Structure 1
């Protein structure tokens, strides 16, 4: 299916690795001009080489701390100069990493979960809006989590932040509907991300085996899916790419689960 992304301009925040990179690859495969934003220059350089090889002619990597509003403004000012002030797609994949039981989390960890999980997205959308509004068509896709619908007692701060992100995204879909800028959310389930694979190793499990990984998740957090394995980043990318595309012409304010069947309500 042609997603209508040829020559579209797209930014993937957190696009240097994991689900962000998987999404950026799908956009590049469709001929989009992709910029990936992150903190690691090495990861971004590797991603840009990959995306260029896939057909993204103007692929570039921009180092920025999205916790710094001035740095975020600088990124989008740079992109405005490169792309004639227009942006078709903004995808925010960065999320909080705080895990721990309610009684163990400090105030700082709660604040950090909201800062990493919500405010980075808020800053990126705020800075990108003038570019998105100028474009002929535009989409925003934010990454939430299936734990907002199926709770874990070990993820209260993470889940609270993701719930807030989902709510803000819904509000944005209402605000921007008059501009025909579509805003949607992807809620991944247990995906074999770099951090989750690393966690599995710390408990003596081969996280690169999606079946073993799901077994460890079930043991430590409760079984989160009907399917017996964890998902892969490349199973998230196509869903996000569709939501970000011109083929998605009428879906906005939706929250799409990609989670192995953890929630059917």
Structure 2
């Protein structure tokens, strides 16, 4: 659907790598003008407007959003993708780490949306897409802190959708399963047996492999697209059936 984002300007937080980079590339391929907001923009494509920003710093976020609007004259789409991972049960992380991860994964989205809303209200095709996770709906071992933040993102998405529907701003989220990202790669490299750990992660998803960043980007593009004007307040799961399917063991 090349061209469906023609004339529209999108911001992708955490857009310099992983899922964010795939989203940036997909929106650009479909005609959008894309700006990347990231703490480290060295990996960002040369085709995009890259701005150094920290989602835990309100002043940094506001300045970055204003620089995007100054560059392009408008803002239509916000992809709240910046986030960090966390491992362990409820007793494995100190209060400071709980606050840090919530600050990035949840309040970071609030800061970006808050800064962008005045501009989105002027757009004829305004959309916010938050990167959530299958962990918002599925209990995963050793992911208490991470899952708590993603449950908050899911609730935030629905509340924002209700608040801003009559302003013409759609708000949705995408729930990836375990994706082939730099963070997962780091987890695998630190495992005692990386190959066995990867096989376990792949087997956890019924289609038998990790989700690709490109597959998540396609879902985000659907939710952000002006062709999806009746889609708001929803979560689109991209997890190979992990959340909803219960397959019988494969026969030999």
Distance apart, 1:2 and its partner CA: 4.6
Q: Which residue of 2 aligns with 1:264?
A: 244
Cα distance, 1:205 vs structure 2: 2.1
User: Aligned pairs, how many?
Assistant: 244
CA distance, structure 2, for counterparts of residue 244 and residue 260 of structure 1 = 21
CA contact (8 A) 2:2 2:29 kept: no
Give the 5 Å matches for 1:42-57: 42-44=42-44, 47=45, 49=46, 52=47
Cα deviation digits, residues 55-76 of structure 1 (max 9, x gap): xxxx210001111000001011
Q: Which moved more, 1:92-101 or 1:117-126?
A: 92-101
How many angstroms does 1:217 deviate by? 2.6
Which residue number corresponds to residue 147 of structure 1? 135
Query: Does the residue aligned with 2:129 lie in a helix, a strand or coil?
Result: strand
Asked if 1:133 is matched to 2:117, the reply is no
- Does residue 80 of structure 1 match 2:69? yes
- The CA distance in 2 between the partners of 1:78 and 1:164, in whole Å, is 29
The structure 1 residue matched to 2:201, chosen from 208, 217, 222, is: 217
Question: In the alignment, does 2:232 pair up with 1:248?
Answer: no
Are 2:58 and 1:69 equivalent residues in the alignment? yes
1:167 equivalent in structure 2: 155
Distance in structure 2 (CA, Å) of the matches to 1:62 and 1:6? 22
Contact 2:180 2:212 in 1 (8 A): yes
Unmatched runs of 5 consecutive residues or more in structure 1: 53-58, 207-211
* Structure 1 stretches of at least 4 aligned residues deviating more than 4 Å after TM superposition: none
Tell me the TM-score normalised to structure 1 length: 0.88
Gap runs ≥5 in structure 2 = 246-252
Q: Which residue of 1 is the match for residue 38 of structure 2?
A: 38
Q: 1:237 is matched with which residue?
A: 217
Match of 1:122 among 102, 110, 115: 110
Q: d(CA) in 1 for partners of 2:99 and 2:200? A: 28
RMSD: 1.6
| SS of equivalent to 2:113 | helix
Aligned to 2:84: 96
